[in-house]
Chain A
């Protein structure tokens, strides 16, 4: 394989990973605060629709679309936050409801607002130009980092920001505390529900942006069920990444890589059925979950990690 092909594949990997990364960041924030959020799929779908709707009504502004998607994603997620805090709903059931509502709501609005079924492209859309980074763009292989969209760079910055927030700030400590033990956090003077609201809204905004990326940057249209399981892959990524922003993002890159390779194989015409290739990220996800459950089991049993504890009990 030539360097050009490798670079191209890696660039594609990053593009594929961007929405996953945003969703996973939102998901892991919730996870840290003890909210089991598998509604990432639904949040993103609403975001994807909102972006296209805003683009349409602002005469083609993708910027407005991205911003609008974040706001509407957060508004939509507030419903979920209400369910899990005020009404103490089962997190999983509420997530499923949010996913189903998202699918139904977007296809309903597609019909009532735009009077179409299946998919809609706005009349006018001013696509964002990709950002070329000087110097890096001329380095072989590394140049895959250049020429990405603003959302990708935002996602990478968010990885760092969320890392710092979670592990170096007061609010991060409160988030982790609520996730560890709600009662204990309460006695320390923290309001668990307030924290949960914050992380859920944040995940709504991040997922909204992820959806907008798919509908306004990857392509220029909204189609029904266009998230196609990415929300669940993002979930897998942050579980496998131990709800750590850096590790979770690396896992999303792995999934992005699987996607990218799949497309390359298809393009090269290697006589493998496209449906098998489309399975790649999911196969990766299953393997990832198996590995993570196995290692966490070993950890629990004290076979790996917890060196000190092992010495104590042995």
Chain B
């Protein structure tokens, strides 16, 4: 089959950084290329150049054999390149139809020809089995539906080359399967697809060729048939990676957290939690799975003391802390790694040192009579940076200078140094790369193995499955299923996550 895209010897330099160094890749028509690598490996820069968001400093881009200079997204679109961005490029207050036709609007007598547009879109929806209501506003859609709009948008512009930037990061397993089906259909119709992802399982499932990037260069280029996940992850990180986290024997001790019949309202004043019961024992990791927005965030806020429940009790180490504030709970031995790292977990404009001490700056020996002991603080923060592998020349640097993974290590160091009996870890590896994921997972396991309790909330099913001793599934503010380690796989959990089934409910089949 004919070559669709060739990017030859591409280099891109930013002040002080080489984003891409002599990178080459190519995709044929009717073929799916998997582009994988850590965050900051240069994958997005490559794709931004192909989509005209930025231009290469060196190298040549060829489309269907012809050399092209893509100056703008507009030009890329005209050349038949479509891109589904990781962060959806949709206008929340405009309708689905308006979003699709934006930038390529059929007109009649100077006005938008809604009928013609609708006909064309409906044809696409039918061909690829991508149903969606065109008159709804984007903000009314679910994440999966939004992505569908993005794909229809690209097809509407008759894209022959489709770039997907981490399309499955936000999808449930069922939605992911659906997406992969759509991609197979596109492939059958001769579309060339570039698929960027962190999830090796998907790469293995759908791609034909794989290109691995690290630190701006290609570290591996091979056929999927020759690849295996272990080898790929070593290529991604550049060293041997433990995909399996070693864990001690499961010996749950006394209950450290007991949540009884919690009801709570969300910010809009609507019920978010409807009678949640859960227990976490010492020496175990309890994982909470669920599609985001099903009450996980509120549950964490209730346990950590940021949100008052309307009903129910939170018992920490045998003591009722329902009416205690955040600081009291922390002093009682609770640590919390918030899901919103930038907003809740850190103060981006403060130094790394200040961030490392945020939870106990007021305590002795760091503070005497209201005066901070800067010398001690500095000593402590330098030690913590070393212990937790935070890559920075000096802990007085602003936190904002760190990468996502390193920022998360700072949060981790702070929360662990408080020596908690119970740790809440919410989305602990969101947006961090494989190397950092590995070290964070090891740390979480250390907490468990040192006979303390962990509540892990994550949208990554892989993470939940590999770390948890017990898994709870949340749906619409309730816990609808519980599994022991090894009892469940992604697929069965997916059916509970989407509310299709529940244990002990009317749809129970078990």
Interface residues of A (CB under 8 A from B): 164, 168-170, 173-174, 176-177, 180-181, 183-191, 301-302, 306, 308-309, 312-314
Contacts and interface: CB of A to CB of B under 8 A. Distances in A.
B1 interface: no
Interface in B68-117: 72-74, 77-78, 83, 85, 88-94, 98, 101-105, 107, 110-112
Given A180-B92, A308-B136, A173 B269 contact: no
Interface in B167-204: none
B140 interface: yes
Given A187-B85, A301-B269, A314-B270, A180 B93 contact: yes
A184 to B, nearest CB: 4
A201 B445 CA distance: 61
User: Most A CB atoms within 10 A — which of B103, B105, B267?
Assistant: B103
Contacts of A170: 105, 107, 112
Nearest to A185: B102
A169 B112 contact: yes
B123 to A, nearest CB: 21
Contacts, number: 83
B362 interface: no
Contacts of A312: 140
B103 A176 contact: no
User: Most B CB atoms within 10 A — which of A186, A191, A306?
Assistant: A186
Given A168-B111, A173-B101, A187-B51, 13 more contacts: A169-B107, A170-B112, A174-B102, A177-B102, A181-B90, A184-B91, A187-B85, A187-B89, A188-B104, A189-B73, A189-B77, A191-B74, A309-B140
A313 B268 contact: yes
A187 to B, nearest CB: 4
Contacts of B111: 164, 168-169
B112 A302 contact: no
User: Most B CB atoms within 10 A — which of A170, A174, A183, A308?
Assistant: A170
B139 interface: yes
Given A301-B268, A306-B140, A169 B110 contact: yes
B103 A302 contact: no
A176 B89 contact: no
State the majority secondary structure of interface residues on B: loop
Contact of B102 (A173, A191, A306, A309): A173
A188 B73 contact: yes
B136 A186 contact: no
22 contacts: A164-B111, A169-B110, A173-B94, A173-B98, A173-B105, A174-B103, A176-B98, A180-B94, A181-B89, A181-B90, A184-B89, A187-B53, A187-B83, A187-B89, A188-B73, A189-B74, A189-B104, A301-B269, A308-B136, A309-B140, A313-B270, A313-B293
Interface residues of B, number: 35
Interface string B135-161: 010011000000000000100000000
B263 to A, nearest CB: 15
A169 B107 CA distance: 8
Contact of A180 (B78, B91, B104): B91
Contacts of B88: 184
A183 B112 CA distance: 23
A173 to B, nearest CB: 6
Contacts of B112: 168-170, 173
A176 B73 contact: no
Nearest to A306: B140
A181 B139 CA distance: 13
Contacts of A168: 111-112
A5 B156 CA distance: 59
Contacts of A164: 111
Contacts of A302: 268, 270
Contacts of A186: 53, 73
Given A168-B112, A170-B107, A189-B73, A184 B90 contact: yes
Nearest to B142: A312
Nearest to B83: A187
Contacts of A309: 139-140
Interface string B312-325: 00000000000000
Nearest to B98: A173
B140 A177 contact: no
A308 B90 CA distance: 19
Nearest to B105: A170
Contacts of A313: 268, 270, 293
Contacts of B74: 189-191
Contacts of A308: 136, 140
A186 B98 CA distance: 15
A177 B112 CA distance: 15
A183 B90 CA distance: 9
